[in-house]
Amino acid sequence: MLEGLTDQQRAAVVADHHVLLTACPGSGKTRVLTHKVAYELQRLTGKKMVVALTFTNRASDEIKRRLDRMDIDATKLWTGTIHAFCLEWILTPYLGYLPELKNGFVIADEYKTEELLSTLRAAYDFTWDNITTRLKPDGSFAEQVSKYHHFLREYHATLKEQGLIDFDQLLYYAYKLIASYPKIARTLNNFFQVICVDEYQDTQELQYEILAKIITAKLDNTTLFMVGDQDQAIYGSLGGVARSLSDIKASFGNIDINEMKLSGNYRSTQRVIDYYRHYQTAAIDIRSMCAYAGQQGQITFNETVDKDSLAEHIAEIISERITAGIAEKEICVLAPQWWLVIPMGRKLKQLLPDVNFDAIGLSPLIKSKENIWFKVARLFLVDPAPNMYFVRTRWANELVDSLQTMGIDIFDSEQRKAKKLLRVFNLIKSDHTVGLKYLEDCFIQLLAILEIDIESNANLKQHWTYFFVGTQRRLDDPQYNYATDIQSFRRLFRHNQGVVVNTCHGIKGEEFHTVIAFGLLQGYIPNRNEADQVSAAKKLLYVICSRAKKELHLIAESGRMRSRNPMFATLQLASVRFDYDN
Ligand SMILES: Nc1ncnc2c1ncn2[C@@H]1O[C@H](COP(=O)(O)OP(=O)(O)OP(=O)(O)O)[C@@H](O)[C@H]1O
C-alpha cells in the first residue's frame, strides 16, 4: 500500500502522532491523505472508525473511488464535508437535547438559501451588500455591521417558519451540542481512531472548535491528521481562517502536533509552475517531478473576447482539445462565481451537444445531498451496470444509515442490508416518462415494499416535500429551461464524466490537463469581502492556475460592466509579465 509514495509521503502516512502536513500544490497531499485513510483502515481494531473530512462532496467521492481502486474495504470509513459530519454524528443523534430543533428540520440547500436571501435583500434594499450569515460560537452574528442584524434576524425567522436550517446554523447547533454535553465529544473520541482533514487552511472557527472538542475529549486516543497549504486559503470571505501551527496547537489545547512537509510537484509542467509562482505569497521554489515536466504546453491570456461571444470562444477551445485527443474529463472550465458558471454550462451544452458535461446547475434536482430522497433518487437514476457496482453499494449503505438515523430499520436486524436494498431497487419499474413523476412513482413503490409509512415519520415527510417542491420550482423556472424527461434526469447522474464546469471553490484539490478560466476580472477576483485584497486575489489565481497539468487558458472577457463602468482584468493578473502563447 505504501508503494509509489516518496519517503516524505510515506513518513506522513505511517506517522502515529498528530500531524499538520503543509506543502505546495500537486505535491501529493491528497494522495497521502488517501493512503493514510487506507493505512489506518487496515490497522483498525474493535469498533473504531476512520474519518476523512473534505472540502467538497466531489473530494470525498474521489477518496471513496480511490479506495475502491485500491481494493480497500471502506465500511469503517466515514468521509464527507464537515457539515455532513456535524449533521450525521452530532445533530441527528442528539437532536432531543435541542428544543429549537427537536421536532425535526430540513437543511436548506444553496439554492434555497440564495432564494430566501435575495428576496429579503430586495425588501431591505441590500441587494449588493456583502452580508455574512455565519454565527459565532456564542450564537451571535459574525456579521460586524449592526445595521444588517435586523435583516439576519428576519432571515432566521423565515428559515424557522419553513422548518429549515442553513449550513451556518448547522455548524452552530452542532457546536452548541458538543460544547454543552461533553459526553458527545467523549463518545466520538472513543469511536474515531483518526480524523483526517483535507484543505485545513479553509477551516472556519466553529469547525476548529468542534474538532478540538472531539480530539481533546480524551488525549492520546483520536489522532488528528490535517493537510493543506496556506497559499491556497481562498475562503477568507466565507470565514476560513488559515491558522499557523502555533494557533492550531492553541485551539487544540496545546497538544503536540508535528509539522511535516512535502516537496516536489507531480502534477504540472515546469512552465505551468513557473507561471503560477507569480501568485505565490511565500516565495517557495517548486520543482516539477512529472515525466512531462519539460513540455511546453500552452498558456494563453485573452482580454479581448467579448462576453457575448465568450461561450463560443470557450467551446472552440474545448473542441480543439478533444480533437487533439484530450479526454473530456481532463478539461475544466471555471470561474470565480457560481452565477457566471451556471449559464456557461448551459450554453456550452447547447453549442457542443455531442460533448458530455459535468457542470453545476445542469441538474434541477435539489442540491442537498443530505436530503434522504436525493439519496434514493440517485439509486433510481443510475443503472446497475457492473462498473457502478461499488458506487451503488456505497450509496445503498449510506441510505440504510440515513434511514436508521430517522428511526427506520429496514429488513429488521438482518445482515447485508445494502445488498438486499439494491435488489429491491432493481425490481422497481415505472412507465412514467416525466422525470419527477417517474421518481415519485418509484419512491411510492419503494415505501410500499419496505413497509414504511411516510405519514408516521414527520422528518421523512419533510424531506419528501422539500425534495419535490424544490425540484418542481426549479423545473418551472423559465430562466433555467430544464429538460423534464426521465432520460435527461438520468444523464445528470452520469457520474464523473465529461468536461467539468464549476467554480474555483467547487474543484479545490482537483487537477485537469487543460484549465480554461474566465471571469478573471477585478471585482470578481478578489471578492469585495476580503480584508487583504491583494493576497486574496493572488491566492485565488494561484489555486486556479495550479489545477492545470499542461494547459492554461486565462480569460478576462470584455464587455462586462459594474456600476456603469467597464470591468477589466484582475490587477494581479494584468501585471504579470509572461511570454503567453497568444
Ligand atoms: N509519489 C508520487 N508519484 C507519482 N505521482 C504522484 C506522487 N505523489 C503525488 N502524485 C500525483 O500528483 C498529483 C497531485 O497529487 P495531489 O492531488 O495529492 O496533490 P495535492 O498536494 O493534494 O495538490 P493540491 O494542493 O493542489 O490539492 C496526483 O495526480 C497524484 O496522483
CB-defined site of ligand 1, < 6 Å: 4-6, 9, 23, 25-31, 229, 232, 266-267, 509, 511, 546
In this structure, which residue's CA is closest to atom 1 in ligand 1? 5
Amino acid letter at 312?
E
Query: Which atom of ligand 1 is least distant from the CA of 5?
Result: 1
* Pocket mutation for ligand 1, best pick of 27, 199, 279, 330 (most atoms within 8 Å of C-beta): 27
In this structure, which residue's CA is closest to atom 30 in ligand 1? 28
Residue 31 CA to ligand 1 centre (angstroms): 6
Residue 240 CA to ligand 1 centre (angstroms): 23
Report the binding-site residues.
Answer: 23-30
Q: List beta partners, residue 192.
A: 49
Please state, in angstroms and rounded to a whole number, the distance separating the CA atoms of residues 123 and 229. 40
Q: Give me 288's grid cell.
A: 516539477
In this structure, which residue's CA is closest to atom 18 in ligand 1? 28
Amino acid letter at 335?
A
Q: Is 233 exposed, middle or buried (0-12, 13-18, 19+ CB in 10 A)?
A: buried
The DSSP code for 230 is: G
Which among 359, 390, 468 has a CA at the least distance from the CA of 58?
Answer: 359
**Given this model, what pLDDT does residue 421 score?**
94
Helix (H) or strand (E) holding 260: strand 257-261
The DSSP code for 258 is: E
Side-chain half-sphere exposure of 542, counting CA atoms within 13 A: 23
In this structure, which residue's CA is closest to atom 23 in ligand 1? 26
Residue 36 CA to ligand 1 centre (angstroms): 14
Q: List beta partners, residue 68.
A: none
Q: List beta partners, residue 485.
A: 434
Cα distances from 372 to residues 30, 368, 418, in angstroms, run 29, 9, 15
**Given this model, what pLDDT does residue 533 score?**
86
Residue 510 CA to ligand 1 centre (angstroms): 9
In this structure, which residue's CA is closest to atom 26 in ligand 1? 25
CATH code of the region 270-356+498-574: 3.40.50.300
**Given this model, what pLDDT does residue 242 score?**
67
Query: Which atom of ligand 1 is least distant from the CA of 6?
Result: 1
CB 4 within 8 A of CB 35: no
In this structure, which residue's CA is closest to atom 27 in ligand 1? 509
* Pocket mutation for ligand 1, best pick of 2, 8, 30 (most atoms within 8 Å of C-beta): 30
CB 203 within 8 A of CB 197: yes
Residue 73 CA to ligand 1 centre (angstroms): 23
Residue 26 CA to ligand 1 centre (angstroms): 5
Please state, in angstroms and rounded to a whole number, the distance separating the CA atoms of residues 370 and 108. 10
In this structure, which residue's CA is closest to atom 25 in ligand 1? 25
Q: Give long-range contacts, CB 8 A cutoff, 24+ apart: 283-291.
A: 284/24, 286/24, 286/25, 286/26, 287/263, 288/264, 289/264, 289/265, 290/265, 290/266, 290/549
* Pocket mutation for ligand 1, best pick of 196, 266, 284 (most atoms within 8 Å of C-beta): 266
Amino acid letter at 340?
L
Residue 246 CA to ligand 1 centre (angstroms): 27
Q: Dihedral, CA atoms, 179, 168, 83, 194, nearest 10 degrees? A: -40
Query: Which atom of ligand 1 is least distant from the CA of 262?
Result: 21
Angle between helices 458-476 and 372-381 (to 10 degrees): 60
Cα distances from 163 to residues 150, 365, 403, 463, in angstroms, run 20, 20, 20, 10
Q: Is 122 exposed, middle or buried (0-12, 13-18, 19+ CB in 10 A)?
A: exposed
Side-chain half-sphere exposure of 90, counting CA atoms within 13 A: 30
Q: Three-class SS of residue 103?
A: coil
Alpha helices in 146-181 (DSSP H): 149-161, 167-180
**Given this model, what pLDDT does residue 61 score?**
85
Residue 511 CA to ligand 1 centre (angstroms): 9
In this structure, which residue's CA is closest to atom 11 in ligand 1? 266
Residue 28 CA to ligand 1 centre (angstroms): 3
Query: Which atom of ligand 1 is least distant from the CA of 9?
Result: 1
Residue 175 CA to ligand 1 centre (angstroms): 33
Residue 268 CA to ligand 1 centre (angstroms): 10
**Given this model, what pLDDT does residue 390 score?**
78
Domain 7-91+174-261 has CATH 3.10.129.10: no
**Given this model, what pLDDT does residue 13 score?**
97
**Dihedrals phi, psi of 563, to nearest 5 degrees:** 45, 45
Which among 577, 519, 574, 507 has a CA at the least distance from the CA of 547?
Answer: 507
Report the binding-site residues for ATP.
Answer: 23-30
10 Å Cβ neighbour count for 559? 12
Spans of the chain below 50 pLDDT: none
In this structure, which residue's CA is closest to atom 6 in ligand 1? 266
Domain map of the chain by residue range? 7-91+174-261, 270-356+498-574, 372-492
In this structure, which residue's CA is closest to atom 9 in ligand 1? 28
Residue 572 CA to ligand 1 centre (angstroms): 27
Give every CB contact of residue 531 below 8 A, 6+ residues apart in sequence.
236
Please state, in angstroms and rounded to a whole number, the distance separating the CA atoms of residues 109 and 570. 31
Q: Note whether 7-91+174-261 and 270-356+498-574 share their fold.
A: yes
* Pocket mutation for ligand 1, best pick of 31, 54, 63, 515 (most atoms within 8 Å of C-beta): 31
In this structure, which residue's CA is closest to atom 31 in ligand 1? 31
Query: Which atom of ligand 1 is least distant from the CA of 32?
Result: 18
Residue 507 CA to ligand 1 centre (angstroms): 15
Q: Give me 225's grid cell.
A: 491528521
* Pocket mutation for ligand 1, best pick of 37, 267, 269 (most atoms within 8 Å of C-beta): 267
Q: Is the pTM of this model over 0.90?
A: no
Query: Which atom of ligand 1 is least distant from the CA of 23?
Result: 21
Side-chain half-sphere exposure of 241, counting CA atoms within 13 A: 13
> Quick one: what percent of the chain has pLDDT higher than 90?
62
For residue range 20-46, what is the model confidence (pLDDT) as tens digits? 999 999 999 999 999 999 999 999 988
Q: Three-class SS of residue 553?
A: strand
